[in-house]
Structure 1
């Protein structure tokens, strides 16, 4: 749950009020129905401040009066509850080869989902795929007659969340692409544009994946590799909005003398594409060109489970690369939890135990590794959380 931390002197009065409203809404969402007095006590604000915040949230229809009352000192107290089922969010997780879209309410309940494969590799083609997905989702949402709270877009690349400019997304052929400005010409709803893994990490935190977790890292292992970082309940984006771009980690010193204008060195070896490429190299004098061209990471893991030596070797090498990256993440950030997600993570039975074994005795503690149970939905939930926080 988002908690109201000590406010610094550098925050403006508006910033302080915004944080208080954000914290109150999160408290009501997670613990409601609650009374205004409870909100004041838990957030350590005055009762008049709590009353003013709650009245504003009621006016915005984000919370409502509960039919239930609480007794205190012989008097009944009004309770307020989250009004999350009265608003909808349209969310899109835009991958390099797939587009996952959903319509959900503010409680995170999914009403409609789509999962499409796309083969667009050019800038305008990628934008057209995204627009068509949004239009389809909006058509469903509008038929419900419920108000649409906003649209969230998760992008597989470096994204400026304030301007909505995609600095770099090689899988979509976007460099300096003004996504928010372009979408605003087609859709009149509030927009959240953010790195896809940042949204997914926030979604994992917001949904309460594991009790007591305030700091987590989500690593997605798919077409590429990225990570989202949540520190004290907030997404950490870094000075250049590149925090978590672990695909650019250097797996060995030889990478220092190379350039990586598209996919980074680490993801070229340990992503789904990288795993398939290394398998092709292992089999280049054994299989014919057609079989090699059809190679996938999924096929590699399937063959490893069957005990085929070439596949066992490729998977072992993948574990080595992942263990090095997870060791660095663990030692620099020391998170409560590291989650794995994406297509490669569906073979976690061959990864997690081996990664932990590799790191035993190498770093001072055993990282808490798990597989995301939310998968693609995490990004949509993160979009809901971002829209709610933006409204504060």
Structure 2
């Protein structure tokens, strides 16, 4: 029985990776007898995992044309949830990563009344609205902005959600009837990029997300690297200027690290505000006196050639570049994917980053912008589920 089930899984995997493929080709590839392949393929068709379509080319000797087999990506669905400090986003995806339904809501509003209860409600609505068979939902993957003990599903600390040792999976299981997996949001994003984005077919990958904070997800030889206490990739704590550290360094937020305090989105906005307040002739002087300017404003001004904004942005880019040089020289990834809010201005940042990184790095590394963009978190969460969940199919 064990062998039969293993062969069935292997045949499904073979079809997933090589479709369209015939029964005879499967038998040849996998060194399993044709009758066995036929029997197991028939079962997979009955169970809706695969389907037959069309008639292939005939062989050069003439003879019967083979029927081709295809993987049925609509055999089941997975929910992906990306919990951010400002917004929670959820999708229902098929097994190919095609988004069938999507929903979001502001985080702050539901932090007190129960975030997971609200997520469960939104999922229910999406299932109903899109007439999805509840039985076809395999489960949910989730990304959270904090250090996470993946084996027991506890979020050790997520400052933007005020969670400390929060029993995420235990809480989620009160409201949702399917298996759930959770991990740090940037770990989840790197899985998404390897599955469907800028790191397809790459085995050693790093994803760096630069928003208010700075974090990274690391894949080594196809395995997500989490570190001894699930805190690997906390790039925001890198020090890229030792002199600055000696001058009573104050983090931009409580418990934030050095790099995010000089190069994160909030830090860029703060620095711009400070310098504009010292320049009464500046177009944003009056605004800066009344309120904090934002990182987005800094990029918008820099693109127009504003000297103060250019100074702020160029300094931040230098710090990020040094962080990348340090990380890449240690890990030697094939590709580094760059994502997060700051990289909405990637066309402005990338050339300057590449210049510094190429200058200092002993072996070159490819720098790419996230292909999945705002969906990196939710599709990464789907990918997390498909990797971790023991089912008929293994995607990685």
From 264, 272, 285, give the equivalent of 2:278: 285
Aligned to 1:264: 257
Contact 1:84 1:105 in 2 (8 A): yes
Aligned to 1:240: 229
From 28, 32, 39, give the equivalent of 1:47: 32
Q: Bigger radius of gyration, 1 or 2?
A: 2
- What is the correspondence of 1:1-392 to structure 2 with a 5 Å cutoff? 27-35=14-22, 38=25, 46-47=31-32, 51=37, 58=44, 61=47, 63-68=49-54, 79-119=68-108, 125=111, 128-143=114-129, 144-146=131-133, 147-207=136-196, 209=198, 212-253=201-242, 255=245, 262-286=255-279, 287=285, 291=289, 293-389=291-387, 390-392=389-391
Contact 1:214 1:233 in 2 (8 A): yes
Contact 2:49 2:75 in 1 (8 A): no
Q: Which runs of 5+ in 2 are unaligned?
A: 280-284, 392-396
Alignment CA distance shift 1:362-1:180 (3 Å)? same
Contact 2:265 2:294 in 1 (8 A): yes
Alignment CA distance shift 1:303-1:259 (3 Å)? closer
Larger deviation: 349-358 or 72-81? 72-81
Contact 2:78 2:95 in 1 (8 A): yes
Contact 1:151 1:189 in 2 (8 A): yes
Question: Any idea what the Cα deviations from partners look like across 1:348-370, whole Å, max 9, x if unmatched?
Answer: 12211101112333222343111
Alignment CA distance shift 1:288-1:128 (3 Å)? farther
Name the CA distance, whole Å, in 2 between partners of 1:210 and 1:24: 26
Alignment CA distance shift 1:202-1:276 (3 Å)? same
Give the 3-state SS of the residue equivalent to 1:303 in structure 2: helix
Name the CA distance, whole Å, in 1 between partners of 2:277 and 2:80: 42
State the Cα RMSD in Å.
3.3
Give the 3-state SS of the residue equivalent to 1:281 in structure 2: helix
Alignment CA distance shift 1:21-1:161 (3 Å)? farther
Name the CA distance, whole Å, in 1 between partners of 2:88 and 2:249: 32
